[in-house]
Structure 1
């Protein structure tokens, strides 16, 4: 067995596309994913699972129908399942998400922002 750490900065340097999840590891039935965002995403909900956002660089906003939360570098936020949200960032923000394998996003409206599941880097 080869033991090697996962360098988040090196993984982030491998892609520039925005709003495109990149899987970097798995643990049990969960995946660790990197994501770069700027601008607004669509309103959507995860009906069957909570979702964890960890800000690695920059800051983002999660809007909810009844409020919002700002997540800055070094902070994380857990969105409970069934809560409608709209992520956004004024400047480019780098995130790690932790979610079950094969998690589905249920968009409020159809959009070209829907990403493929399980894109590894």
Structure 2
């Protein structure tokens, strides 16, 4: 078979990574699939021009919102609408997740919400 179809090995993409890593692994039309390997909290932010869909692959992923926190377990998926303030963090020592978003989506850093 010709090499028209690239197989992405997610285990290889995340293997041996011991610091925060986030990079694109695939492109679908005008969207990217990114893999994120997390060991600590990511800062509060939003994406004003793109929804962001998270798929937990390994470990648990906590997504904090102004209204509370959602926990994803491996195999679970959630979409964060564009413009919604959030932050992500692993629920254990390490989390691996995929995100699906507009290629080149802007990320705006935001201050922590007042509680």
TM-score, normalized by the shorter chain, greater than 0.5:
yes
CA distances 1:14-45 after superposition (whole Å, capped 9, x unpaired): 64431x31111111011111111122121111
Spell out the pairing of 1:33-52 with structure 2 (5 A cutoff).
33-52=34-53
Distance 1:11 1:63 in 2: 26
Structure 1 gaps, min length 5: 110-121
Structure 2 gaps, min length 5: none
Distance 2:110 2:72 in 1: 23
Aligned to 2:96: 94
Aligned to 1:106: 108
State the TM-score, normalized to the length of structure 1.
Answer: 0.81
The Cα RMSD (Å) is 1.5
Distance 1:4 1:48 in 2: 28
Spell out the pairing of 1:3-82 with structure 2 (5 A cutoff).
3-13=5-15, 15-18=17-20, 20-82=21-83
CA distances 1:62-112 after superposition (whole Å, capped 9, x unpaired): 111111100111111100111100111132000111111111110014xxx
Number of residue pairs the alignment of both structures matches: 108
Q: CA deviation at 1:11?
A: 1.7
- Deviating above 6 A after TM superposition, structure 1's stretches of 4 or more consecutive aligned residues are none
Going from structure 1 to structure 2, the CA distance change for 1:14 and 1:31 (only over 3 Å counts) comes to: farther
